[in-house]
């Protein structure tokens, strides 16, 4: 099917795609088309929606987080369950980047190109993890998964300030804290290939959280809002999860959190 020649409309079509492999390939093609000048950005208006957001496969089954199951690093299946959970997070991350790209009109062109970068890198992460999952003898969809990340995307669909505050700089920032101990577990279990993938993901995710931080502060400045006080209001309004340590202060600092914000986590 021909893809639209406008970036936000193209992103919406990628978001509606239900096949994960096709979605990742479509995102890569969109990014390449933008680089070559074949796709332009229209910052105004809203592309029409002709399907269900987000497009996703029938599997995995979505369950509450407590029902996802325990992951023992002593077995191949246990490690596969962890890799599968990470794959699902990255699949949702592709969708959230595409949603941020198409949904909110009237922002600078750089906003849309930033989220194009995020979508492209999240699709690479998803592909790397699902390919490794196949090496372990499993497929994406073989285990249940939870949908907490997308739930916050859905809650903030009408408010770009809340979206920037509570998705990249809250939920995705939790990944900065979680990746190092998960990487250590996989490496200790002998899965060095998975550990290497997590190294790549952490490096990219620092940039993704920085994008969220930067556009959150831009929007607060634009609307005359004080960032820290506004964050507290939005976190309560949209029922954001409480932040719990340990925190990866080094990665959070690189991702643009201020020293005042970091001291508030202690």
pLDDT tens string 189-222 = 999 999 999 999 999 999 999 999 999 999 999 9
Give helix 20-35 / helix 76-103 axis angle, nearest 10°: 50
pLDDT at 2 over 90: no
pLDDT tens, 42-81? 999 898 998 999 999 999 999 887 777 777 888 999 999 9
pLDDT at position 74: 87
Mean pLDDT to the nearest integer, 250-254: 98
Listing DSSP states for 70-116 in one string gives: ---TTSHHHHHHHHHHHHHHHHHHHHHHHHHHHH--SS-HHHHHHHH
pLDDT at residue 66, as a whole number: 77
Listed residue (224, 238, 45) closest to 159, CA to CA: 238
- Per-residue pLDDT reduced to its tens digit, 132-176: 999 999 999 999 998 888 999 999 999 999 999 999 999 999 999
pLDDT at 1: 52
Specify the CATH architecture of the domain 72-263.
Up-down Bundle (1.20)
In the chain, where the domains are located: 72-263
Q: Tell me, what's the pLDDT at 67?
A: 75
Q: SS3 of 165, please?
A: helix
The pLDDT value given to residue 68:
76
Single pTM value for the model: 0.96
How many Cα atoms are found within 13 Å in the side-chain-facing hemisphere of 217?
10
Please tell me the number of Cα atoms within 13 Å of 193 on its side-chain side. Answer: 12
More confident residue, 242 or 234: 234
Give the integer Cα–Cα distance in Å for 217 and 207: 15
Confidence of residue 266 (pLDDT cuts 50, 70, 90): confident
Question: What mean pLDDT is predicted for residues 5-28?
Answer: 97
CA distance 205 to 207: 5
């Amino acid at each position: 099917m021909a893809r639209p020649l406008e970036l936000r409309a193209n992103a919406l079509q990628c978001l509606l795609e239900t096949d994960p492999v096709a979605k990742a390939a479509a995102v890569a093609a969109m990014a390449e088309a933008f680089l070559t000048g074949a796709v332009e950005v229209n910052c105004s208006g809203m592309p029409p929606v002709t399907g269900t957001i987000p497009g996703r496969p029938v599997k995995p089954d979505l369950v509450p987080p407590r029902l996802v199951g325990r992951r023992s690093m002593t077995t191949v299946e246990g490690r596969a369950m962890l890799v599968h959970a990470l794959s699902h997070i990255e699949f949702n991350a592709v969708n959230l980047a595409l949603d941020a790209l198409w949904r909110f009109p009237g922002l600078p062109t750089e906003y849309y190109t930033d989220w194009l970068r995020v979508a492209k890198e999240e699709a690479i992460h998803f592909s790397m993890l699902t390919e490794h999952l196949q090496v372990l003898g499993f497929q994406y969809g073989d285990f249940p998964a939870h949908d907490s990340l997308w739930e916050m995307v859905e809650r903030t669909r009408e408010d770009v300030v809340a979206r920037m505050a509570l998705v990249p700089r809250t939920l995705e920032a939790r990944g900065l804290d979680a990746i190092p101990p998960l990487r250590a577990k996989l490496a200790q279990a002998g899965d060095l290939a998975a550990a290497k993938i997590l190294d790549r993901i952490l490096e990219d995710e620092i940039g993704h959280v920085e994008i969220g931080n930067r556009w959150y502060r831009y929007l607060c400045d634009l609307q005359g809002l004080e960032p820290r006080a506004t964050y507290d209001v939005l976190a309560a309004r949209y029922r954001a999860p409480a932040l719990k340590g340990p925190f990866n202060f080094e990665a959070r600092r690189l991702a643009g959190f201020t020293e005042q914000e970091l001291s508030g986590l202690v």
